[in-house]
Amino acid sequence: MRTAADSGHAHQHETPPTPLPQRDILDAAGDILRALAAPVRIAIVLQLRESTRCVHELVDTLGVPQPLVSQHLRILKSAGVVAGERSGREVLYRLVDDHLAHIVVDAVAHAEEDRP
């Protein structure tokens, strides 16, 4: 395999490489992205960016069975994406951080741009 040095053209960067975060930060970011990597979980995040929701509201809005919504909420909760707070007999779920909504909104917008 030929390299730039082999052809007499050393590759020079105009700017130095961006410093990388520590490995544990990269691992945590990967965990968050994996937690968001399912259509139902993306839809849940989109709903929660507007306001808190209980499971039955998400079931009605998303049109998926309650056990499936609960399973996805557990995944999002364990990844630190959502938090739940008991209110009477229900648990109200909310996004932990607005940055998470921006990640999902940007990903959806990018997907919409690529559609024919």
Alpha-carbon gap, residue 46 to 44, rounded angstroms: 5
H or E stretch covering 94:
strand 90-95
Q: What global pTM score does this model have?
A: 0.81
| pLDDT the model gives residue 10 | 63
23-113: CATH topology: Arc Repressor Mutant, subunit A (1.10.10)
- The one-letter code for the residue type at 102 is H
pLDDT digits (tens, 9 = 90+) for 8-62: 556 677 888 889 999 999 999 999 999 999 999 999 999 999 999 999 999 999 9
Burial class (CB in 10 A: 0-12, 13-18, 19+), 56: exposed
Tokens of 26: 């990269």
